Amino acid sequence: MKIAVVVFPGSNCDIDLFEALHTVCGAAVEYVSHKRDNLDGFDAVMLPGGFSYGDYLRCGAIARFSNIMPAIVEFAKQGKPVFGTCNGFQILTEAGLLPGALKQNDSLKFICKTVSLTVENNQTLFTTQYKKKETIALPIAHADGSYYADEETLAELEENHQVVFRYAGENPNGSLNNIAGITNKAGNVLGMMPHPERAVEAILGNLDGLRLFKSLLENGKVTTEEAVR
Amino acid sequence: MVNVRIFVTYKQSVFNPQGETITDAIHSLGFSAVKKVNVGKFFDLQIEPNDKSVEEIVSQVSEQLLVNFNLETYHYEVMEEA
Amino acid sequence: MVNVRIFVTYKQSVFNPQGETITDAIHSLGFSAVKKVNVGKFFDLQIEPNDKSVEEIVSQVSEQLLVNFNLETYHYEVMEEA
Amino acid sequence: MAVKVEMSPVEIKNKKPYLEWGLTEKEYDFISEKLLERLPNYTETGLFSVMWSEHCSYKKSKPVLREFPNRNERVLQGPGEGAGIVDIGDNQAVVFKAESHNHPSAVEPYEGAATGVGGIIRDIFSMGARPIAMLDSLHFGEIDNAHTRYLINEVVAGIGGYGNCMGIPTVGGETTFDECYSGNPLVNAMCVGIMDQKDMQKGQAKGVGNAVMYVGAKTGRDGIHGATFASADFADDRETQRSAVQVGDPFMEKLLMEACLELTSQHKKWLVGIQDMGAAGIVSSSCEMASKAGSGMDLTLDNVPQRETEMSAYEIMLSESQERMLLCVRAGFEEKVKSLFKDYGLEAVVIGRVTDGNDYVLRHHGEIVTNIPVSSLTDDVLEEPSEERKPERITQAESLSNWIPEFTDAKEILRKLLVQPTIASKEIFTQTYDSQVRTNTVVGPGSDAAVLRIRRTNKALAMTSDGNGRFVYLDPFVGGQIAVLEAAANLIASGALPLAMTDCLNYGDPNDPEIYWELHQSVLGMSEACRVLNTPVISGNVSLYNENNGEAIYPTPMVGMVGLVKDINKHLTNIFKNSGAKVFLVGNTRADFAGSEIQKMLTGKISGMLNAIDTEFESKKLFKLLQAIEAGLVDSAHDLSEGGLAVGLVESTFSSDVGLDIELKTMKAQDLFSETPGRFVVSVTPEKVEKFVEIMEDDCMEIGETTAKQKVHLKCQNADFEIQVAEAQKIWEEAIPCLMK
Ligand SMILES: Nc1ncnc2c1ncn2[C@@H]1O[C@H](COP(=O)(O)OP(=O)(O)O)[C@@H](O)[C@H]1O
Ligand SMILES: [Mg+2]
């Protein structure tokens, strides 16, 4: 399985994803420039955190128009795994690959800390190595992570089990339904504000993110259809 | 050259934490006369219409880029000549 | 109740990277007719004037809180009745 | 904007506009009579006024800075370049420097702090190093008024706003509060980078015919006379469209950084030299690059990318617009460099060439607007001898006996100390900094020093920034020693060997002989400690004229120090790990209350003399402790500073599972709060105690043990009390959030 880590101007967690996948998990990974127009030869694509285009206008709003985006949309339509963390999640919502939007934290401040999450759905490509309802801890680092969707969308998300991670205990940013991460309906696109790639090594004090990448690497071997439920 | 001002605000149903924080701050400065604050942003566009009309340009730019319809809504005004 | 809209913009000489980035994005969408974009924010205040006049309140709130005079400047409009 | 008609050379001589720009009459006369042998024109006078400012020339502080040791076997680059460089083995090097942005932050706290961060980051990547961490050293007034709260909120947001966007973790720093900083906050930022030694760059422009290239943001009128501007200038600026405030664009800088790093690491053949444009923009970077190489330079200002219209040569040269770099590119490789930058969406432009000789020539609109020797800007600055005088307050204090605290309820004192802003948790600030991006942060904000692993090695770097203006105010020499000692102690507590240091020297008006004496004495104290610890000063920055309503701030040198952790698995934090460990106090405790937190808390002011420090003795003790840590004998270590032993003990239980049972047979209650420097609380598992004591000898004293109960029991000669860990932690955590409301 070969994974693309997309680099937008202003991405800054690209190296973190790369190292987590490559150095820690031993996966085949390649940086892919936003200028490229195809994802030929890749089996999964990851959108890193950071401040693409300075987060000017809205977070992720301008990145959505980069050259690589049509290829990512097509990739997602084909049911292949697409993952976005933090700014990557924001880009996925702006691009319409995930429903809803991320707005400014209720505190109006950037917040970097480790939060508790409940794994709500362990049947996705990305979460099979977690237990359902398991509580894990992952770092967050964002100023605009308050998930919003209208009531109808929220109801649909809940009904389809698209909410994958929920803040447990304190809600750090005001997200509706305590949502920290969601998939699309088909389950092959996951976006989340927390940073699993920052929690894959014992020396950094947290291993709870590791199983997300391991799940994907394991499930990548089987076809997407089979892996989703 | 046409100058257009596009106003973007959160939809009424969406909680805007800024508005409340600012209202509180205004009250703590002693201005109890201010009952409510809403915050929005605006974009001033200088447009030199070519094949498309100003309305077309404004609505397309707004819809494709400037406004996120999950959260926001917009309207615009054509300003006086530059 | 009086509704006031306060417009806050960067001073002309202040470097505003947002505007340029947005202009570039608009051009890459193919709208070359848009020559320039400026970004600003606005505050809609609902005011129930008491001892102070609306002008006094608006100018004081703007100067003490809403506007950073190092970089920004403002003007306001009284809107129609709510 | 109307074009201003510039004064003629004769008008300049008569009307003396340069006085306002910071040049003295004596300097002006020296320039026109001795250096140029003619009257300088408007542009030239402007160039001299910024290049001869304290900010660029260090004319006041240079004699003092010469005291600093700046070499040892590890130093690859000392002061004189964008940043200093130190060998860390494996053909790698660490690069670091600190910079102050006090005055800009007082005027416009968000952008002032943000552009301070942006500037210091450019200093690091201009050396060819990848910035890996930021630290900040902040000093504000007391949190008892809206303006201070505003300054704090904005400064902290500015530092986070820039660093977060750049993807450089802000991992450490310090924040203190004292009335003397209320109108003049100190905002110092330090950046640490890492590089392969083969990628080392210099800010030099050599080789006749090589290109001088400009890259990055366009030039505007921002920050003109940034070095000399005063807040008063802004009061009347409300109605105008003009603003001299520099605005940062971290997105632009991120692109600039990645592009420059690609250039310095992969295309060394193309590049001769590189330097960032900091204070005094194009003029200082270009003439310094020429001066270092002994070259001349010929620049055409019409080629400088500009974002405002009708800028004069004077304005173009003096602008302090951010996010710009100057390159010297080997002739023939200009197009290659352009296309590299274009790939990142940036424009690189040839603005001139390196020339033979020593002439600094500027052309604008077809005219030569400047033609002066390069060296007249960089080397011929008149160093002015400064007067020095020991302040009256110190002479007086010498004859008085020192204050000793008196109280009955030690527990109440401890509780009150824990909520003093300088001691209380700073998490409300540090959690707005991304401290983890790039996933190397092993220890982030909150411990004695931050620790970052170096990928693909077994090593780590520890880093800290420290300063304590109160001590320096009471006794500049000893205070200077303590500042260095404390930084080293923070590194050692983390398991690192101190390598070298940088500094920001924040003082008042140096024309005041008492202030100059403080500057001189404190640098002597710092230098002495540096020599003994073998931590040379490899870079630094001076910020003078820090005054608030005519009152100087405390003399506040900030020390930024970096250390090497040889085995990452041996690094330590300040938090106790296990119950049943033996707790030791390392270092002797004296009655050191002058300038202490308890003195300030109980008397509302600071006073007295500091006890002398034997740095040789302190250094031996520090290195013994490091030896014990490197031998894996120690579980946790915390160096003691503000609040003394009692505060240090309690802090080390926070967020752990353990409590403490401590008995101090030799101490009275007041000693719990003494701030004798060079002390540590360490915990050692019982089976390692013997070996630990063998190394530490009588520099350590067993004082109790960690327990499984969640409370701290403290007993000394005349006090015996308990405090719940949860309760202590809660008041410590809530103190600043509560004050900031
Ligand atoms: N207090 C100091 N201690 C040691 N070196 C200093 C000090 N102040 C300045 N320097 C050195 O002098 C040189 C010029 O400093 P500075 O003008 O602040 O650099 P920059 O141009 O990057 O802003 C640098 O090499 C710096 O490290
Ligand atoms: Mg410490």
pLDDT tens-digit profile of D556-594?
A: 999 999 999 999 999 999 999 999 999 999 999 999 999
Residues of chain B in contact with residue C21, where contact means CB-CB under 8 angstroms, are none
Q: Is A86 a catalytic residue?
A: yes
D20 belongs to an annotated ligand binding site: no
The per-residue pLDDT for D150 is 95
Q: Is D101 a catalytic residue?
A: yes
Whole-number Å distance between alpha carbons of B19 and C45: 10
Beta carbon of D505 within 6 Å of any ligand 1 atom: yes
Among the residue ranges A152-161, A206-215, D243-252, the one predicted with the least confidence is: D243-252
Whole-number Å distance between alpha carbons of D462 and A174: 36
Whole-number Å distance between alpha carbons of D725 and D653: 7
Domain boundaries, chain D: 202-381, 406-424+572-741
Which residue, D532, D440, D542, is CA-closest to D169?
A: D440
Residue D721 Ramachandran class (φ > 0 left, ψ -120 to 50 alpha, else beta): beta
Q: What is the DSSP string of A21-50?
A: IIIIT--EEEEEETT----TT-SEEEE--B
| Separate counts of helices (H) and strands (E) for chain A | 6, 11
pLDDT band at B81 (very low <50, low <70, confident <90, very high): low
Query: Which residue out of C22, C26, C31, C39 would a mutagenesis test of the A interface target, given it has the greatest number of A Cβ atoms within 10 Å?
Result: C22
Query: Any idea which ligand is nearest the CA of D523?
Result: 1
D639 belongs to an annotated ligand binding site: no
Whole-number Å distance between alpha carbons of D72 and B50: 68
Which residue, D28, D2, D1, is CA-closest to D15?
A: D28
CA D737 to chain centre: 25
Atom of ligand 1 nearest to the CA of D123: 22
> Given the structure tokens 């986070």, which residue do they identify?
D160
Q: What is the D151 CA–ligand 1 centroid distance (Å)? A: 26
The per-residue pLDDT for A121 is 98
Q: Cβ of C28 under 8 Å from any chain A Cβ?
A: yes
How many contacts (CB atoms, under 8 Å) link C and D? 49
Q: How many Cα neighbours within 13 Å face the side chain of A94?
A: 27
- One-letter amino acid for residue D581 of the chain: A
Q: Does position D233 have pLDDT exceeding 90, yes or no?
A: no
Look at C28 and A54 and tell me if their CB atoms are within 8 Å.
Answer: no
Which residue, D164, D216, D167, D168, is CA-closest to D190?
A: D168
Q: What is the D80 CA–ligand 1 centroid distance (Å)? A: 7
Look at C34 and B25 and tell me if their CB atoms are within 8 Å.
Answer: no
Beta carbon of D64 within 6 Å of any ligand 1 atom: no
- One-letter amino acid for residue C51 of the chain: D
Name the residue of D541, D543, D561 whose CB sits within 8 Å of the most ligand 1 atoms, as the mutation to test its pocket.
D541
Tokens describing residue A226: 């089979």
Q: Cβ of C21 under 8 Å from any chain B Cβ?
A: no
Residues of chain B in contact with residue C49, where contact means CB-CB under 8 angstroms, are 33
Give how far Cα D632 sits from Cα of B82, D455, D458, D491, D577, Å.
74, 22, 15, 16, 14
Look at D245 and C69 and tell me if their CB atoms are within 8 Å.
Answer: no
Give the pLDDT mean for A171-200. 98
Q: Is D364 a catalytic residue?
A: no
What percent of chain D stands above pLDDT 70?
97
Give how far Cα D546 sits from Cα of D153, D180, D182, D443, Å.
21, 10, 11, 33
Whole-number Å distance between alpha carbons of D224 and D244: 6
pLDDT tens-place string over residues D517-526: 999 999 999 9
Give the pLDDT mean for C16-40. 92
- Residue in A closest to B41 by C-alpha: A57
Q: Cβ of A20 under 8 Å from any chain D Cβ?
A: yes
D276 belongs to an annotated ligand binding site: yes
Give how far Cα D153 sits from Cα of C71, D157, D264, D338, D448, Å.
17, 6, 37, 40, 24
Please name the residues in contact with A225: beta carbons below 8 A apart, sequence gap of 6 or more: A79
Q: Does position D229 have pLDDT exceeding 60, yes or no?
A: no
For ligand 1, atom 13: residue with the closest CA: D80
Please name the residues in contact with C68: beta carbons below 8 A apart, sequence gap of 6 or more: D108
Whole-number Å distance between alpha carbons of B9 and A79: 35
Look at B35 and C22 and tell me if their CB atoms are within 8 Å.
Answer: no
Among the residue ranges D68-72, D315-319, D529-533, the one predicted with the least confidence is: D315-319
Which of these is catalytic: A86, A94, A120, A142?
A86
Domain D406-424+572-741 has CATH 3.90.650.10: yes
Q: Are β-strands D556-565 and D497-506 bridged in parallel, bridged antiparallel, or unpaired?
A: antiparallel
Helix (H, G, I), strand (E, B) or coil at A116: strand
> Given the structure tokens 């987590």, which residue do they identify?
A20
The per-residue pLDDT for B80 is 74
Look at C13 and D220 and tell me if their CB atoms are within 8 Å.
Answer: yes
pLDDT band at D241 (very low <50, low <70, confident <90, very high): low
The per-residue pLDDT for D226 is 53
pLDDT tens-place string over residues D724-736: 999 999 999 999 9
Beta carbon of D737 within 6 Å of any ligand 1 atom: no
Q: Are D169 and D193 in contact (CB under 8 A)?
A: no
Atom of ligand 1 nearest to the CA of D288: 21
Q: Cβ of A110 under 8 Å from any chain B Cβ?
A: no
- One-letter amino acid for residue D257 of the chain: M
Beta carbon of D279 within 6 Å of any ligand 1 atom: yes
Look at C21 and A65 and tell me if their CB atoms are within 8 Å.
Answer: no
Query: Any idea which ligand is nearest the CA of D287?
Result: 1
Give the pLDDT mean for D615-638. 98
Q: What is the D65 CA–ligand 1 centroid distance (Å)? A: 10
Whole-number Å distance between alpha carbons of A118 and A105: 20
Residues of chain A in contact with residue D453, where contact means CB-CB under 8 angstroms, are 203
- Domains and their CATH numbers in chain A: 2-228 (3.40.50.880)
Could you tell me what percentage of chain C is helix, strand and coil, using 3-state DSSP and rounding each to the nearest 5?
30, 35, 35
Beta carbon of D65 within 6 Å of any ligand 1 atom: yes
pLDDT band at D383 (very low <50, low <70, confident <90, very high): confident
D231 belongs to an annotated ligand binding site: no
Look at C71 and D221 and tell me if their CB atoms are within 8 Å.
Answer: no
Domains D202-381 and D406-424+572-741 share a fold: yes
- One-letter amino acid for residue B33 of the chain: A
Tokens describing residue B58: 């404004």
- Residue in B closest to A59 by C-alpha: B68
Å between A148 CA and nearest CA of chain D: 22
Query: Any idea which ligand is nearest the CA of D541?
Result: 1
Look at C57 and B32 and tell me if their CB atoms are within 8 Å.
Answer: no
pLDDT band at D242 (very low <50, low <70, confident <90, very high): low
pLDDT band at C16 (very low <50, low <70, confident <90, very high): confident
Residues of chain C in contact with residue D108, where contact means CB-CB under 8 angstroms, are 68, 70-71
pLDDT tens-place string over residues D674-720: 999 999 999 999 999 999 999 999 999 999 999 999 999 999 999 99
> In this structure, what DSSP letter does residue A40 have?
T
Q: What is the C20 CA–ligand 1 centroid distance (Å)? A: 34
pLDDT band at A78 (very low <50, low <70, confident <90, very high): very high
pLDDT band at C81 (very low <50, low <70, confident <90, very high): low
Give the pLDDT mean for A63-90. 97
pLDDT band at D240 (very low <50, low <70, confident <90, very high): low
Considering the entire predicted model, what is its pTM? 0.95
Look at D250 and A54 and tell me if their CB atoms are within 8 Å.
Answer: yes
Give the domain D202-381 fold: Phosphoribosyl-aminoimidazole Synthetase; Chain A, domain 2 (3.90.650)
Residues of chain A in contact with residue B20, where contact means CB-CB under 8 angstroms, are none
Helix (H, G, I), strand (E, B) or coil at A38: coil
Give the pLDDT mean for D324-334. 97
Q: Nearest by CB to B33, from C22, C40, C47: name it.
A: C47
Å between B80 CA and nearest CA of chain A: 25
